Amino acid sequence: MAAASSTARAKAAPRKSSASAPKIPAFTKDEELAAYREMLLIRRFEEKAGQMYGMGLIGGFCHLYIGQEAIAVGMRMAAKEGDQTISSYRDHGHMLACGMDPKAVMAELTGRRGGASKGKGGSMHMFSRAKGFFGGHGIVGAQVPLGTGLAFADRYLGNDNVSFTYFGDGAANQGQVYESFNMAELWKLPVIYVVENNLYAMGTSVARSSALTDFSKRGQSFNIPGEQVDGMDVRAVKAAGDRAAQWCRAGNGPIILEMQTYRYRGHSMSDPAKYRPKEEVQKMREEHDPIEQVRARLIAGKQASEEELKEIDAEIRKVVAEAADFASHDQEPDPAELWTDVLL
Amino acid sequence: MATNVLMPALSPTMEQGKLAKWLKKEGDAVRSGDILAEIETDKATMEVEAIDEGTLAKILVPEGSDNVAVNTPIAVIAADGEDASRLNVASDATQAAKGKDAAQKGAPPPPAVATAASVPATVHAAPPPEAPEVPEGAVMETMTVREALRDAMAEEMRRDENVFVLGEEVAEYQGAYKVTQGLLQEFGAKRVVDTPITEHGFAGLGVGAAMAGLRPIVEFMTFNFAMQAMDQIINSAAKTHYMSGGQMSCPIVFRGPNGAAARVAAQHSQDYAAWFSHVPGLKVVAPYTAADAKGLLKSAIRDPNPVIFLENEILYGHTFEVPKLDDFLVPIGKARIARKGEHVTIVSFGIGMTYALQAAAELEKEGLDAEVVDLRTIRPMDSATIIESVKKTGRCVTVEEGWPQSGVGAEIVARLMEEAFDYLDAPVMRVAGRDAPMPYAANLEKLALPSVAEVVAAAKAVCYR
Ligand SMILES: Cc1ncc(C[n+]2csc(CCOP(=O)(O)OP(=O)(O)O)c2C)c(N)n1
Ligand SMILES: [Mg+2]
């Protein structure tokens, strides 16, 4: 991707040049607008969450997804009914992309009874059986075997669903990831391993933590194919997602997608992100912002006017404001909830 | 409409900070995501981002200001088209202050209202059994614990297609301790699955499969290797139902031999009963007899919760009478009176029962009539049965092979102190493994484990004999 021109980036992870990348299929107008809307929802939701954290309404760890929106949204566009999604603690964007109610997600962030986990899970632990979202996991890498197990169940039950299993560049160094890779290929499990390579695991850059920084090759010793994808371009993400899902549904086993992305904010709310130059962040925001890319295409192609986009923006701000309002005023869980849900 | 930019907090505990620097000046156009200012505390620096678009109409707090309280308006942003110069900034700021009050009203109710009761109501198991577990006149057959466990799995696998067995050497090799003997032949490779040596991975995979609705039986070759998988067992299996607000259940059984075998030394001789019993969200079962092994394993497989099923390598070859029934279930959470007696209660579980029962036989010769309680389930613990017995005897000894500190015995002692103090005629005594890793040398190993003699001595001591 073009970001390779940034020296900091180039050092951190050699990127495939955009010339050799597969040609990116264009989106229809509807797809562009849908992607725009979804990504904007995540962006505005996360900005609001950050603000509410600053006001003391959200506590503990809170990892924002700002910058990475194209991955959750593009991959979701490649999913079908019944597919499962599982991710790490950086989960708000995925939950919104899966269609979970912004109010329930925000109220979980504030620990209220209307939250997705009744206020008992918090930012890092949210789930939705109805939307096929299996968490929200706080231990780095732990979701990878779980996602593999979801795929095991798909194969066992004989359906053609796929498990979308997301993890970070840091998590990619956990042993259980490779235990999972081995079993997934051995048993041809329908799982898409999506490495969200945002170049940093907390303050540790990929270059400082990984012997092999091309995560698409991390499956090679298990014969799992992989692909590097421009994770800032929602069209590229969806196209790769489509190819991967097709591969899995056809019974070929797992596949790895390395999504090259960037988080604009610190690792969590209390991380001032001093380990990377401001210019690096600024450059990504200015030149590769996933939402701006769609916006620019919509305007340039005359598929939408500034006015129409402003309207969408206003609608989304309203949804987010309502979620924030609900999450600020909903009651805390009943004290008796402490003892519920421990067992069935 | 103009909006105020408020002083943000770096953490929930931050109350004030320094407004170090303004990166935009009055009159600048502002887009959401733009960095407006930098704030500092003694710990860190943070950027203030705009979340609204428009023009920076007014800076209310100049750069370099110290001790700016969190939530104080620091600037005003005028919306597009609004005339920034004509904004009544002062009244806006007062409104913001009011707004802050309102926000605080909306904030969490005071702890007094929201604090949960600190102690759960004590839940006792229902008093003594209504119907006998083994119906009158049932035909009994003799079998080993190993065979009973295998039969339990086979019966449940016939009953429910979603039950499958996963673990190292469970299929082709027929089980490292032959507990899964014949299962591959009957159920095929889809349902009896050999895994690589990857405990953490396959335990997690099992939990994922259980979350998706399957009923995995995960065998650990021994529970010592479950340490590799501890994180998935505790953080994923035990807590997910709770963290998901009741949406994600995890019907899984983790089973395998637990505790000391013989001469396998420290890393392969550990009793995990107390470890797992510490964890809410798990059930922990540790049978002694073949009948209990069979009936409890069947119940564990049907249970909608994660169940830790602790077997014992030495007990695998012991034979017992097992009722010959189509569907013999033993309920989880109920202790069993293994021997009735009047003078002293001995409570144990699993292989600890061998010491307890032999000690009772010895004590009988000396005129002491011991009642022996087999816990069978460690969590949820059947306090009621123990307390009923102690009401009668007034004296109690606990027996386990595991370490004494925070052990199962310690838990029983605490419960008796809290719930049956008035019935006790002597302090409760614990007999446990030595507080040391298991040594390899035969003589030392023998010294490290509890003995019948120690149980006899403890029983006599609490009877002041
Ligand atoms: C097993 C474990 N070790 C350490 C941590 C602390 N920790 C939380 S997130 C994180 C970095 C993970 O980075 P990455 O996988 O790249 O994901 P990202 O945060 O970039 O999305 C660390 C070290 C943890 N939660 N779990
Ligand atoms: Mg990362």
CB of A138 within 8 Å of a chain B CB? The answer is yes
What ipTM was reported for this prediction?
0.76
Residue B338 predicted with pLDDT over 90: yes
Nearest to A120 among B49, B195, B242 (CB): B242
Report the greatest alpha carbon distance in chain B.
102
CATH 3.60.150.10 fits A2-10+24-326, yes or no: no
Ligand 2 ion: Cβ-proximal residues, 5 Å cutoff = A 168-169, 198, 201
Ligand 1 closest atom vs CA A198: 20
Q: How far apart are CA B29 and CA A220, in angstroms?
A: 50
A158 at the B interface (CB within 8 A)? no
The answer to whether the CB atoms of A146 and B246 lie below 8 A apart is no
Do B421 and B318 fall into the same domain? no
What is the Cα–Cα distance from A47 to A52, expressed in whole angstroms? 9
DSSP H/E element including B231: helix B230-231
Band the pLDDT of B15: cuts 50, 70, 90. confident
Nearest-by-Cβ selection for B245 from A51, A120, A329: A120
| Same domain? B272 vs B299 | yes
**What is the chain B residue with the closest CA to A179?**
B201
Question: d(Cα A49, Cα A265) in Å, to the nearest integer?
Answer: 12
CATH of the domain at B100: 2.40.50.100
> What's the CATH number where B417 sits?
3.40.50.920
End-to-end CA, chain B? 88
Same domain, B340 and B305: no
Strands B65-69, B140-144: pairing is unpaired
Residue A316, both tokens? 């989304």
Number of neighbours of residue A250 by Cβ within 10 angstroms: 10
A40 in contact with B, Cβ within 8 Å: no
pLDDT, averaged across chain A: 92
Please tell me whether residues B256 and B401 are part of one structural domain: no
Q: Do A179 and B201 touch (CB under 8 A)?
A: yes
Look at A118 and B6 and tell me if their CB atoms are within 8 Å: no
Residues in contact with B92: Cβ distance below 8 Å, sequence separation at least 6, in sequence order = B2, B4, B73, B76
Q: How far is CA B210 from CA B218, B274, B339, in A?
A: 11, 25, 38
* Domain span at B87: 3-104
Q: B242–A57: do the CB atoms touch at under 8 Å?
A: no
User: Are residues B457 and B401 part of one domain?
Assistant: yes
Interface touch B211/A150, C-beta < 8 Å: yes
DSSP state letters, A108-154: HHTT-TTSTTTTSS-TT---BTTTTB-----STTTHHHHHHHHHHHH
Strands A255-260 and A191-197: parallel
Instruction: Report the run of H or E that residue A191 belongs to, with start and end.
Output: strand A191-197
Q: Using CA atoms, how far apart are residues B193 and B283, in angstroms rounded to an integer?
A: 24
Q: Which of B49, B116, B304 sits opposite A344 (nearest CB)?
A: B304
| CATH code of B195's domain | 3.40.50.970
Number of domains in chain B: 3
Average pLDDT over residues B269-282: 97
Q: What are B1's two structure tokens?
A: 């409409």
| pLDDT tier for residue B87 given thresholds of 50, 70 and 90 | low
Which of the residues in chain A have pLDDT under 70?
A: 1-22
CB-based contact A339 B305, cutoff 8 Å: no
Q: Whose CA is nearest to atom 3 of ligand 1?
A: A140
Any B CB within 8 A of A85 CB: no
The answer to whether A147 touches A165, Cβ cutoff 8 Å, is yes
CB nearest B244 (choices: A56, A117, A285): A117
Contact flag B243-A152 (C-beta cutoff 8 Å) = no
Active site residue B371: no
Task: List, as one string, the DSSP characters of A2-29.
Answer: GGGGSHHHHHH-----TTTSPPPPPPPH
pLDDT tens, residue by residue, B143-187: 999 999 999 999 999 999 999 999 999 999 999 999 999 999 999
Query: Which residue out of A63, A139, A140 has the highest number of ligand 1 atoms within 8 Å of its CB and is therefore the one to mutate?
Result: A140
Q: With beta carbons under 8 A apart, name residues in chain B contacting A339.
A: 116, 120
Nearest CA to ligand 1 atom 8: A140
Write the DSSP symbol of residue B259. B
* Any B CB within 8 A of A183 CB: yes
Chain A touched by B439 (CB under 8 Å): no
Distances in Å between the Cα of A189 and the Cα atoms of A143, A159, B193 are 15, 12, 14
Is there a domain that residue B109 lies in?
A: no
Q: Are B217 and B185 within one domain?
A: yes
The answer as to whether B180 is a domain residue is: yes
Ligand 1, from A165, A196, A202: best to mutate by most atoms within 8 Å of Cβ?
A202
Whether A148 has its CB under 8 Å from any CB of chain B: the answer is: yes
Distance in Å, CA A263 to ligand 2 centroid: 8
Q: Of B104, B131, B149, at which residue does a domain stop?
A: B104
> Is residue B221 one of the residues assigned to a domain?
yes
Degrees, nearest 5: CA angle A42-A289-B81: 80
Chain B residues within 8 A of A180 when measuring between CB atoms: 201, 204-205
B92-101, B148-157, B173-182, B358-367: the lowest-pLDDT one: B92-101
List chain A residues with CB under 8 Å of B209. Answer: 149-150, 152-153, 156
- Judgement on whether residues B23 and B53 belong to the same structural domain of the protein: yes
Residue B124 has pLDDT above 80, yes or no: no
Q: What percentage of chain B exceeds 90 in pLDDT?
A: 72
- Cβ(A127)–Cβ(B247) below 8 Å: yes
Looking at chain B, the number of H-run helices and the number of E-run strands are 14, 22
One domain for residues B280 and B359:
no
Within 8 A of A290 by CB-CB distance, chain B residues are: none
Catalytic residue from among B147, B155, B199, B400: B199
Q: What is the pLDDT of residue A22?
A: 66
pLDDT-above-70 percentage for chain B: 88
Cα torsion through B146, B152, B154, B158, rounded to 10: 180
Chain A partners within 8 Å of B381 (Cβ): none
Q: Is B200 a catalytic residue?
A: no
pLDDT grade for B70, boundaries at 50, 70 and 90 = confident
Contact A216, A257 (CB under 8 A): yes
Interval between CA A240 and ligand 2 midpoint (Å): 20
Are residue B276 and residue B375 in the same domain, yes or no? no
Question: Measured on CA atoms in the order B174, B178, B179, B182, is the torsion positive or negative?
Answer: positive
- Contact call for residues A108 and B227 (beta carbons, < 8 A): no
A176, A221, A322: which to substitute to probe chain B, counting the most B Cβ within 10 Å?
A: A176
Contact check, Cβ <8 Å, B204/A144: yes
Q: How many residues are present in chain B?
A: 465
Q: For B190, name the nearest residue in chain A, comparing CA atoms only.
A: A156
Q: Does A342 touch chain B (CB under 8 A)?
A: yes
To the nearest whole Å, the CA of A124 is away from the closest chain B CA by 10
Query: Rounded distance, CA B135 to CA B328, Å?
Result: 10
How far is A126 from chain B, CA to nearest CA, in Å?
6
In a domain, B432, yes or no: yes
pLDDT in tens, B403-458: 999 999 999 999 999 999 999 999 999 999 999 888 888 788 889 999 999 999 99
Ligand nearest to the CA of A173: 1
| Other C-beta atoms lying within 10 Å of the C-beta of residue A263 | 21
Which A residues, 200 through 259, put their C-beta within 8 Å of a C-beta on chain B?
none
Instruction: Indicate which residue's Cα is closest to atom 7 of ligand 1.
Output: A140
A286–chain B Cβ distance below 8 A for any pair = no
Same domain, B7 and B71: yes
> Is the CB of A183 less than 8 angstroms away from the CB of B196?
yes
Report the alpha-carbon distance of residue B339 to residue B364 in Å, rounded.
12
Closest CB to A125 among B44, B190, B243: B243
Residue where a domain stops, chosen among B323, B346, B369: B323
pLDDT of residue B105 exceeding 70, the answer is: no
* pLDDT on residue B83: 63
One domain for residues B195 and B80:
no
The answer to whether A89 faces chain B, any CB pair under 8 Å, is: no
Taking the CA of residue B58 as centre, how many other CA atoms within 13 Å lie in the half-sphere pointing to its CB?
21
Q: B309 and B347, same structural domain?
A: no
**Alpha helices per DSSP H over chain A:** 7-12, 29-54, 69-76, 92-97, 102-109, 143-157, 175-186, 206-209, 234-249, 278-288, 290-300, 306-329
pLDDT of residue B106: 41
Which of A159, A148, A186 is CA-nearest to residue A81?
A159
